[in-house]
């Protein structure tokens, strides 16, 4: 495939019955992977980058999804050609702008692509038209399995690989949250950290910059993050380690997270305002709250709100 042909055709995710009056809605799923034997992106040499490319291209030829895929190396493309790939959502601006041996592999209808040597060795992407997020997620998981059958993932050779904990947003849809908790319960990850910052702006914010874009943390995050935490505990029935994060500033806050399902808690914003002395106050307060409810250990209180 030549780049000229991309200009004359629309990718599959821009076509179909889900389009309405020229408005395109699509869903994208991405996975990041790093390969064994190679340093991470910040330390990799250009020769090692080329070795990664060669290994991935060889693996793609044996896969069902990418056996006839097209590959473009960034070093042979000019600026306009790279911008075209960015606008087609085949590569990120980072891949377009960085130097070194980098490239992109994508299938004929552009629903699947693999950026090679971006911020990670591999960035796998699936795009589906409309709101078919499950379809995109299933496609990216299938591609991931196919490629990992042929290449060694960074942690695959370790006898005791480090735990993988996924931090999730409090703004996830019920469908997305269900997909994630199902994967967690099936053992695809070791824990969930709940939750990241929110893009929502709850009523009651008074700061003049309250409508600025970006993630909101601190006290306003407490209620939505705790609701998602409780939903995750109920969905996984206590089978997955949950870490409660968001708006914790007292022993009562930490205890609420524990009762909602958290085995561990973490705090950030409150430490900025109150300093390290906050930690012993929370620990002492937790002991009192546990005793008041008749618990002798934190483990006994985990998920107590649901029993």
Positions marked active-site: 128
Neighbours of 216 (CB within 10 A): 19
Burial 169-182, CB ≥16 within 10 A → b, else e: bbbbeeebbebbbe
Q: Distance between CA 85 and CA 110 in Å, rounded? A: 11
Cα–Cα distance between 87 and 81 in angstroms, integer?
10
Q: Residues 180, 166: contact at Cβ < 8 Å? A: yes
- Reduced to 3 states (helix: H, G, I; strand: E, B; else coil), residue 96 is helix
- CA dihedral sign of residues 188, 192, 196, 200: positive
What is the spatial distance between Cα 163 and Cα 167, in angstroms, rounded to a whole number? 13
- Residue 119, classified by CB atoms within 10 Å of its CB into exposed (0-12), middle (13-18) or buried (19+), is middle
User: How far is Cα 147 from Cα 133, in angstroms, rounded to an integer?
Assistant: 21
């Amino acid at each position: 495939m030549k780049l000229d042909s991309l200009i004359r055709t629309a990718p599959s995710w821009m076509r179909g019955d889900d389009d309405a009056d020229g408005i395109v809605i699509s869903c994208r799923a991405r996975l990041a992977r790093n390969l064994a034997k190679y340093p991470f992106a910040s330390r990799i040499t250009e020769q090692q980058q080329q070795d990664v490319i060669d290994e991935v291209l060889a693996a793609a030829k044996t896969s069902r999804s990418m056996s006839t895929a097209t590959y473009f190396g960034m070093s042979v493309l000019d600026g306009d050609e790279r911008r075209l790939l960015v606008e087609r959502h085949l590569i990120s601006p980072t891949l377009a702008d960085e130097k070194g041996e980098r490239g992109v592999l994508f299938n004929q209808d552009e629903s699947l692509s693999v950026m090679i040597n971006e911020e990670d060795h591999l960035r796998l992407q699936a795009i589906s038209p409309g709101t078919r997020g499950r379809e995109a997620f299933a496609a990216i998981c299938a591609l991931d399995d196919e490629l990992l059958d042929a290449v060694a993932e960074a942690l695959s050779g370790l006898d005791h690989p480090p735990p993988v904990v996924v931090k999730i947003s409090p703004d996830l849809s019920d469908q997305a949250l269900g997909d994630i908790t199902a994967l967690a319960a099936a053992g695809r990850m070791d824990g969930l950290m709940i939750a990241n910052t929110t893009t929502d702006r709850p009523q009651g914010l008074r700061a003049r910059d309250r409508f600025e874009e970006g993630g909101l943390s601190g006290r306003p995050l407490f209620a939505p993050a705790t609701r998602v935490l409780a939903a995750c505990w109920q969905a996984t029935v206590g089978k997955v380690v949950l870490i409660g994060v968001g708006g914790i500033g007292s022993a009562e806050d930490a205890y609420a997270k524990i009762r909602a399902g958290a085995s561990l808690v973490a705090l950030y914003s409150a430490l900025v305002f109150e300093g390290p002395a906050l930690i012993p106050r929370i620990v002492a307060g937790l002991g009192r709250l546990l005793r008041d409810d008749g618990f002798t250990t934190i483990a006994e209180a985990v998920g107590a709100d649901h029993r």
